[in-house]
């Protein structure tokens, strides 16, 4: 009986034909390389293509600008130094529907980035004053207190901007904010890094 089963299995294998050649494993899908942050510039305005992120399912806004103020401080040989940059994150910034997004919406989002730069300049201004009296032995707590206050004011300004302009839908208030922010940037020009 065993030889009969072996004969049947052998016949079945012969009827199936030769075994398929092993296929090389598919290359693993590569994730796209994240776009680098875009530093604020008076000459380089944001474009629709800069907004590479995707909204979440529960996001109801028409767009989102993800910008940040990065600040660092150090003491070398008891000499204080600091850096402050305003940067836009393309990977987490998005338009709900990029194909129908208007230039007015892009201007509204650009102004969020401009407000970020204004507060980066305010932070640089405060750190110049801080440097005059910085105690390198107690640097971190004092530095954190200065930057926390600026971050809080920046966050409040961003929220006030959206509230007063209706997220850019109130053209009169939007124009007012554009003028005020440009004036603020001009007044703080001495603290620009370009």
131 lies in some domain: yes
Beta bridge partners of 149: none
169 lies in some domain: yes
Give the model's pLDDT for residue 142.
87
156 lies in some domain: yes
57 lies in some domain: yes
Total domains in the fold of the chain: 1
Q: State which residues form the domain around 125.
A: 34-191
39 SS3 class: strand
CB 109 within 8 A of CB 69: no
What pTM value is reported for the model?
0.82
CA distances from 151 to 49, 122, 129, 148 (A): 28, 10, 17, 5
Q: What is the mean pLDDT of each run of 10 residues along the chain (194 residues)?
A: 39 46 62 92 96 93 96 88 96 94 96 98 95 85 91 98 96 98 98 89
Residue recorded with tokens 């992120």: 53
121 lies in some domain: yes
19 lies in some domain: no
Give the model's pLDDT for residue 23.
61
26 lies in some domain: no
61 lies in some domain: yes
| DSSP states along 71-104 | EEEEEETTEEEEEEEEEE-GGG-EESSTTT--HH
């Amino acid at each position: 009986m065993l030889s009969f089963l072996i004969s049947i299995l052998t016949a079945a294998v012969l009827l199936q034909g030769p075994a398929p050649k092993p296929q090389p494993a598919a290359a693993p899908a590569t994730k796209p390389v994240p776009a680098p942050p875009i530093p604020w510039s008076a000459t380089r305005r944001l474009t629709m293509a800069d907004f590479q992120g995707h909204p979440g399912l529960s996001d109801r806004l028409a767009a989102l600008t993800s910008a940040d103020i990065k600040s660092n401080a150090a003491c070398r040989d008891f000499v204080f130094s600091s850096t402050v940059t305003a940067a836009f994150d393309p990977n987490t910034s998005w338009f709900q529907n990029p194909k129908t997004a208007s230039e007015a919406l892009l201007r509204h989002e650009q102004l969020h980035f401009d407000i970020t730069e204004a507060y980066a300049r305010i932070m640089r201004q405060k750190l110049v004053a801080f440097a005059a009296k910085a105690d390198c032995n107690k640097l971190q707590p004092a530095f954190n207190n200065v930057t926390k206050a600026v971050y809080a004011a920046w966050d409040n300004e961003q929220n006030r901007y959206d509230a007063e302009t209706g997220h850019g839908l109130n053209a009169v208030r939007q124009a007012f904010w554009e003028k005020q922010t440009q004036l603020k940037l001009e007044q703080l020009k001495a603290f620009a890094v370009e």
